[in-house]
A and B are shown apart, each in its own frame.
Chain A
């Protein structure tokens, strides 16, 4: 593998979260009975005309701002002509020569731990277009059914430069893009429902050689498939070349059952789409003011937030990245910090990423449905910070909050008598009892067995039902045994 370079570019179709379609007033809601959300425009009745949905343009502007691209002051809708039963007009309205978003880039984190690295993926363009309907080939006794509910759903097609060199980078890019479009609220990111679909253009070459011939893997709707399909395709292409064959430009499909890609059409069968500007739509003009207005309403972007978390809260790059993976996580975290106090920002990060995430995962819950609110979690972390409870006791309190046994950490601590014992006299008395009851261990320790010390700490903590400050117990025990 080492003497081969892999070149990958990705095109992603993101379904925009508008209520109505891009050129008609029909609803975009998923899952309705076939053809109940297709109006005259979506059915392409004779004489109907498209009218552009302002909301879809707004989404494109948000995306352009989020990736530092140019939002084109003028872009043009064009017709892409081809015949297919689920394409009612016989053409798709898309953007061709003049797209709405030009350039920009996305910084991605690839890998984990020591091997982790950052990479900047350049974006070529993003353009607005309409989705097609669906052909249904089952249940029609050898015929095909057409469902036009999806026809006219707004898409933003996001195209990268061929900047990725492995399936890992491709997946990291796809994940970062997925997080970003959800972050800025332009796409629900639901991959099962087809809201986020990737096409991967893959080629291989020997170092120093010009770009190899690419094959495009269509319609990958999970990160796992994206990875598997690219890995298979890379190996397939290398084998072909090593066995003396040439790669032919082609469009291929990935079969998740076999894990293989297979040819859909070759370059010879490629359509001539006969693009030309759609005469039913005027050029899309986006004023500077519109862009500025949109900018003012944008949320803080993931990268900026990550840098701020590192600077303000002293988080590591790894923690800051994890906490800015999605806007709701970041918001939850910051709300917890507000409740816990800024000096508890780091333990807050751990609690969100470890305990909360673990519980959510175990109960298969989304953050939005978390039984423990950010304020509750922050309140709990505050009690650790001010030494009211130990970390171990805090886990019990968290469990209690999770199970709805109280409104606040304070209430639970109070009710269950979990407050840490800080009275030195009281602890000393307890330790004396423990030493008396465990003479054998004391003897072992004095004979040089360090392990016995830990056992004694454990006994002392047990005696206080965990309420003593472990550090304090440690120190007092050391003093008594010295």
Chain B
């Protein structure tokens, strides 16, 4: 049962080939064996997970099961889950046990899934390598000397190492797609507003969006069916009719128009990555798709704009972590200002502090127009570029990440190098579009086979179409089925 797609697990559970308790225990056993080294989970609570599994078994026995009932899912530790420690990868929340459920958690509970544990992540989702977590680095199951990507690195590693059938992630600038690419997974960042942000600890509110990380496009579709939907508790959630994201999976791709932005195919991308992306495009042509060169002229400013907007919002979002009501408070302080300073100085890691400083700076009197407003203008231009592009094509394709998984510590000394990991993914968040990463082969680096991800970008609310395009490719390729050696 380990490594099987969700649909098969659901069938096995429904046919009583295996119980949810057994399935959960199988994964807990793998976690017990592999997690000490991979470190994909921050919190595992077998008691809680098995209690949910027993409830799922009862539900299955009563004939009330849905497609995901009884399946264990790893939850990124950014989602508040009642009774679970919820750390967001930070010392600041190292002792925070959430008294309430995020909407995503509530929806998975309603679907009857089992919360398998809370996965590691870059602190407050700030990072592209999972090296900024207070709870230690996460190792890439494909090469344990390398990073899994980030910020949803724990979720990616958990699924890639077969410790979980699927996981949730969040994506502010590429945090689902980049680790999916580096760990050979299928990951989807939905259109902004499709999945509720209630209970998802905010990094950059206007960019954050939760989505599934799994082995196949079909798994992602099943996961998104559970996660998506309007939520009156999130004012930026979109009121739209419920969708079945599996509905178009089998649609043929004949006549599909693939846009290839010239900005994605220039310099800055490793040749080994580009070769696999070109192979994938060729495969799509075989499936009947046509390609058209397009341009996203303002994309080059995306990283700069992102590193103004995201830190600006983060600097404000993270102000609530002040040591007053919950979370970390410095053990000794002389007065109120000292309590704030020490608690935040000790509770936050270096990358978080860097972004709070950048964000505070760009919002400051006298700098706001030059940085924040200017970045918002660029954001608008980038969104307009995509609107123009989608007049010429149905889906945009290119690399997810300019490189494969890099070595632990390789980029952590140079923030700008790290930030460029997201050069192809950031524009999608700025525009609020849906984006996916799917496995499209391996780079050839001698001994080590490292996964390469193909990025698919869809028009607003084009999730079902994206999943269809990914699924058809996965019917004729088996990259997504490759598993790392243990």
Binding site for B on A (CB under 8 A): 40, 43-52, 79, 81, 83, 85, 88-91, 146, 272, 274-276, 279-282
Contact with A along B82-99 (1 / 0, CB 8 A): 000010100001001011
B102 within 8 A of A: yes
Find the A residue at minimum CB distance from B320.
Answer: A44
Is the beta-carbon distance between B200 and A88 smaller than 8 angstroms? Answer: no
Residue B188 interfacial (CB < 8 Å)? no
B265 within 8 A of A: no
In the bound complex, how far is the Cα of B320 from the Cα of A43, in angstroms?
A: 9
A280 to B320, CA, bound (A): 15
Q: Hey, which chain B residues are within 8 Å of A79, CB to CB? A: 316
How distant is the Cα of A83 from the Cα of B204 in the complex, in angstroms?
Answer: 19
**Complex: A397 Cα to B91 Cα, angstroms:** 78
* Pairs A–B under 8 Å by Cβ, sample size 16: A45-B326, A46-B80, A49-B198, A49-B233, A49-B234, A51-B233, A51-B234, A51-B235, A79-B316, A81-B363, A83-B322, A91-B316, A274-B364, A274-B365, A275-B368, A281-B236
Would you call A46 and B340 a contact (CB within 8 A)? no
Chain B interface residue number, banded: 35 or more
Q: Per a CB cutoff under 8 Å, which of B80, B312, B325, B340 touches A47? A: B80
Say yes or no: A90 contacts B316, CB within 8 Å: yes
With contact pairs A40-B99, A272-B364, A279-B205 given, residues A50 and B316 touching in the complex (Cβ less than 8 Å): no
Shortest B315–chain A CB gap in Å is 8
Chain A residues within an 8 Å CB radius of B320: 44, 46, 88-90
User: Which chain A residues border B318 with CB–CB below 8 Å?
Assistant: 90
Fill in one digit per residue for B364-379: 1 if any A CB lies within 8 Å of its CB, else 0.
1100100010000000
A49 touches B325 (CB 8 A): no
Contact of B80 among A45, A51, A52, A275 (CB under 8 A): A45
What's the Cα separation between A248 and B234 when bound, in Å? 44
Among B198, B232, B372, contact of A276 (Cβ-Cβ < 8 Å): B372
Q: Chain B 322-338 against A: per-residue CB contact (8 Å), 1 yes, 0 no? A: 10111000000000100
- Cβ contacts under 8 Å, A50 to chain B: 235
**In the complex, A105 Cα to B139 Cα: how many Å?**
66
Q: Is the CB of A81 within 8 A of B93?
A: no
B236-A85 in contact (CB<8A): no
B202 lies within 8 A of chain A by Cβ: yes
**Distance in Å: Cβ of B108 to nearest Cβ of chain A:** 15
Contact A279-B206, Cβ < 8 Å, known A88-B320, A274-B316, A274-B364: yes
Q: B316 near A48 (CB under 8 angstroms)? A: no
Contact indicator B201/A274 (Cβ below 8 Å): no
Check: B422 CB closer than 8 A to any chain A CB: no
**With known contacts A43-B325, A47-B102, A282–B363 Cβ distance under 8 A:** no
| Cβ–Cβ contact A276 & B368, under 8 A | yes
Q: How far apart are B396's CB and chain A's nearest CB, in angstroms? A: 25
Please indicate the chain B residues that have their CB under 8 angstroms from the CB of A91 in the complex.
316, 319
Whose C-beta in chain B lies nearest to the C-beta of A270?
B365
- By a CB distance below 8 angstroms, the chain B residues around A40 are 99-100
A275 vs B80: C-alpha distance when bound (angstroms): 28
- Complex: how many Å from CA A46 to CA B318? 9
Q: Does B360 contact A (CB under 8 A)?
A: yes
A83 to B202, alpha carbons, bound, how many Å?
A: 18
Q: How far is the CB of A68 from chain B (nearest CB, A)?
A: 31
> Are A83 and B319 in contact, with the CB atoms below 8 A?
yes
B313 within 8 A of A: yes
Shortest Cβ distance from B207 into A: residue: A279
Are A274 and B360 within 8 A (Cβ)? yes
* B contacts with A: majority SS: loop
- Which residue of chain A has the shortest Cβ distance to B341 in the bound complex? A83
* Shortest beta-carbon distance from B100 to chain A in Å: 6
Chain B residues with Cβ below 8 Å from A51 are 232-235
Docked pose: A276 CA to B310 CA in angstroms: 13
Specify the chain B residue showing the minimal Cβ separation from A82: B319
Residues of A near B321 (CB, < 8 A) are 46
Q: Is B199 an interface residue (CB 8 A)?
A: yes
Given contacts A81-B363, A276-B368, contact A47 B202 (CB under 8 A): yes
Q: Which residue of B lies closest to A83 (CB)?
A: B340
- Closest chain B residue, CB of each to CB of A280: B205
Q: Give chain B residues whose Cβ lies under 8 Å from the Cβ of A52.
A: 235
Minimum CB–CB distance from A29 to chain B (whole Å) comes to: 22
- Specify which chain A residues have a CB less than 8 angstroms from the CB of B336 in the assembled complex: 85
In the bound complex, residues from chain A placing their C-beta under 8 Å from that of B27 are none
With A276-B368, A280-B236 in contact, is A49–B197 under 8 Å at CB?
Answer: yes
Residues of A within 8 A of B316 (CB): 79, 81, 90-91, 274, 276
A-facing mask of B228-240, CB < 8 A → 1, else 0?
0000111110000
* CB of A305, distance to nearest CB on chain B (Å): 39
Among A43, A79, A90, A274, residue most surrounded by chain B Cβ atoms (within 10 Å): A274
CB distance from A35 to the nearest CB of B (A): 10
Complexed CA–CA distance, A85 and B343 (Å): 13
Interface pair B202/A90, CB less than 8 Å apart: no
> Which residue of chain A has its CB nearest to the CB of B237?
A49
Within the complex, the shortest CB–CB distance from A53 to chain B, in Å, comes to: 12
Interface contact A81-B319, CB-CB below 8 Å: yes
Collect the chain B residues with CB atoms within 8 Å of residue A46's CB: 80, 86, 88, 93, 96, 98, 201, 320-321
CA distance A40 to B198 in the complex (A): 11
A48-B325 in contact (CB<8A) = no
CA–CA, A79 and B320, complex, Å: 13
The answer to whether A44 touches B198, judged by C-beta atoms less than 8 angstroms apart, is no
| Residue of A47, A90, A281 touching B199 (CB-CB under 8 A) | A47
Enumerate the 4 nearest inter-chain pairs by beta-carbon distance, A residue then B residue, closest first.
A90-B319, A274-B363, A279-B206, A279-B205
Could you list 18 further interchain pairs (A-B, Cβ under 8 angstroms) beyond the known A46-B96, A47-B80, A51-B233? A45-B80, A45-B98, A46-B98, A47-B102, A47-B202, A51-B232, A52-B235, A85-B324, A90-B322, A146-B324, A272-B364, A274-B360, A276-B363, A279-B206, A279-B236, A281-B235, A282-B235, A282-B236
A51–B197 alpha-carbon span in the complex (Å): 12
Of the candidates A88, A91, A275, A276, the one having the most CB atoms from chain B within 10 angstroms of its own CB is A276
Q: Which residues of A contact B312 (CB under 8 A)?
A: 276
Task: Please report which residues of chain B, range 217-237, place their CB below 8 angstroms from some CB of chain A when the two chains form the complex.
Answer: 232-236
Q: How far is the CA of A282 from the CA of B98 in the complex (A)?
A: 27
CA–CA, A92 to B63, complex, Å? Answer: 49
CB distance from A275 to the nearest CB of B (A): 8
Which residues in B have their C-beta under 8 angstroms from that of A146? 324-325
Distance A79 CA – B326 CA, assembled complex (angstroms): 22
In whole angstroms, what is the CA distance A279 to B96 when docked?
Answer: 25
CA distance A288 to B460 in the complex (A): 29
Pairwise interchain contact B235-A272, C-beta atoms closer than 8 A: no
Chain A residues positioned under 8 Å from B365 (CB to CB): 272, 274
A78 and B88 alpha carbons, distance in the complex (Å) = 26
Which residues of B sit under 8 angstroms from A90, Cβ to Cβ?
Answer: 316, 318-320, 322
- Inter-chain contacts of B322 with A (CB < 8 A): 83, 85, 90
Closest Cβ neighbor of B373 among chain A residues: A276
A167 to chain B, nearest CB (A): 33
From residue B432, how far is it (CB to closest CB) to chain A in Å?
A: 12
Contacts of B202 in A (CB 8 A): 47, 280
The CA of A79 and the CA of B206, in the complex, are separated in Å by 14
Question: Complex formed: what's the CA distance from A90 to B234 in Å?
Answer: 20
Find chain B residues with CB under 8 A from A47 CB.
79-80, 98, 102, 197-202
Contacts of B200 in A (CB 8 A): 47
Interface centre among B102, B325, B336 (most CB of A within 10 A): B325
User: Which chain A residues lie closer than 8 Å to B340 at the CB level?
Assistant: 83
Once the chains are docked, how many angstroms separate the CA of A53 from the CA of B233?
Answer: 12
B122 to chain A, nearest CB (A): 16
